[in-house]
Each structure stands twice: as structure tokens, then as C-alpha cells.
Homo-oligomer: A and B are copies of this chain.
Amino acid sequence: MSTTRAPRGRRPGAPDTRAAILAAARHRFAANGFARTSVRSVAAEAGVDPALVHHYFGTKDELFLAALELPVDPRKVLLPAVAAGGLDDAAERILRAFLSVWDDPDIQVRLVAAFRSVLDADADGERLLREGFLPVVLGPVGEALGIDRPELRMPLVASQVLGLIMLRYVIAVEPLASLPGDDVVTIYAPTLQRYLTGELP
């Protein structure tokens, strides 16, 4: 997303309204959490009209993802993969879409940095992950999949994907870090597929 490349402050002589809105959004989301932050309050802190926030960023969900400064919009990676086929092999398509960005060396560096900054901060990052990222990203994916009990199944998927991200990319534990993508799919797709469509207690 080009929105993530904006500079952080206002440039002298060329006030950067987008950057000011993003800075306000980061501050409000971190201070008050996702659920209790309104587009209105972000606009007020940035000193602009709420309509301008919507103009630049769309919905609150989109503003939130922009504020996280992710190098890619996870919904734009995952939703096409979901739509490309049926539910029976959805896990494999989701995993391949996931690997297409995380195994790209340039994107990976920026994703690891974004991931670290979310976890590294104090409890704020965790709250944003819990209240914001998971619902904003997992919600639409679960809905697009059309699965039953998405409120349990999607966090199950997330629990495996998160551990894979940490060991393969962030902590870089061998042999996971160097495992060919096809092997990652062979190993993890059955796990994710069971979480998506298998029996639940």
C-alpha cells in the first residue's frame, strides 16, 4: 500500500495531511485500542474534517491497517486466494498466498519489522492485534470462506500461522527458516484445513 510510505511528520511548507492523519490514527489506536477509537476522534486530533479521513483512507478498518504500516494489505493477499476455489483446499491456497508475500525477501524484511514493532511495544501492540488486526483481517476472510463457527476457526488458523511466522521468519529457527515453500505447504495445509473444516469440540 502506498499509504504506508508517507513520511511521519509534516514537511515545512508542504503540510502533509495524510501523514498527520496517520500519526493521529497511530496515537489514538495505541492509546484507546481499536474498538474505542472513532474516525471522528482521529480527525479531531489531526485537525481535519472526518470526511477527509474517509477520503484518504476509506473505512476505520482501512485506516487501522494503514496506521499499522504493513508493507502489504493482508486482506488483498488472502481474499483473492479464498475466492479462487472451493473450501476443500482453501487452506492450501491461503498458505500459498501467505508464502508468496512472506517468502519474498524484500517484503519479508518489512513484514518482520512490522511484526516486531507490534510485539515489541508494551501491551498496546497486543491490544491492537487482539481488538484490531485479528477482527479486521480474520473477519472478512472467515466470512468469504463461508465456514461455520468462524469466531473459533479463524483464531485456530491464526494460532498456527503466528507460530510459523515467529519460528520461520522472526526467530528464524532451522530447518524451518530454510524449508522450501512446497514443504511448508505439505506440512501445514492439513493443519489449517482441519481448523477450517474439521470437527470441533
Please list the residues of chain A having a beta carbon within 8 angstroms of any beta carbon in chain B. Answer: 119-120, 126, 129-130, 134, 151-152, 155-156, 158-164, 166-168, 170-176, 182-183, 186-187, 190-191, 194-195, 200-201
Q: Which of B160, B161, B170, B200 contacts A191 (CB 8 A)?
A: B160
Please name all residues of chain B whose beta carbon is closer than 8 Å to the beta carbon of A201 when the two chains form the complex: 182-183, 186-187
Q: Which of B160, B161, B170, B175 contacts A152 (CB 8 A)?
A: B175
Question: Once the chains are docked, how many angstroms separate the CA of A172 from the CA of B120?
Answer: 16
Please name all residues of chain B whose beta carbon is closer than 8 Å to the beta carbon of A134 when the two chains form the complex: 173
Given A120-B120, A130-B173, A194-B191, check contact A158 B167 (CB 8 Å): yes
Given A134-B173, A186-B201, A201-B182, check contact A167 B155 (CB 8 Å): yes
**A131 → chain B, closest Cβ, in Å?**
10
Q: Which 10 A-B pairs have the closest CB atoms?
A: A163-B163, A159-B163, A162-B163, A183-B201, A186-B201, A159-B167, A126-B171, A191-B191, A155-B176, A159-B164
Given A162-B163, A163-B160, check contact A173 B200 (CB 8 Å): no
Question: Once the chains are docked, how many angstroms separate the CA of A183 from the CA of B155?
Answer: 14
Please name all residues of chain B whose beta carbon is closer than 8 Å to the beta carbon of A151 when the two chains form the complex: 175
**A29 → chain B, closest Cβ, in Å?**
16
Please name all residues of chain B whose beta carbon is closer than 8 Å to the beta carbon of A186 when the two chains form the complex: 201
What are 21 residue pairs bridging A and B, where the CB atoms are less than 8 Å apart in the complex? A119-B119, A126-B170, A126-B171, A130-B173, A155-B173, A155-B174, A158-B167, A158-B173, A159-B163, A159-B164, A159-B167, A159-B168, A159-B176, A160-B160, A160-B163, A160-B191, A166-B166, A183-B201, A186-B201, A187-B201, A191-B191
Q: Which of B162, B168, B171, B173 contacts A166 (CB 8 A)?
A: B162
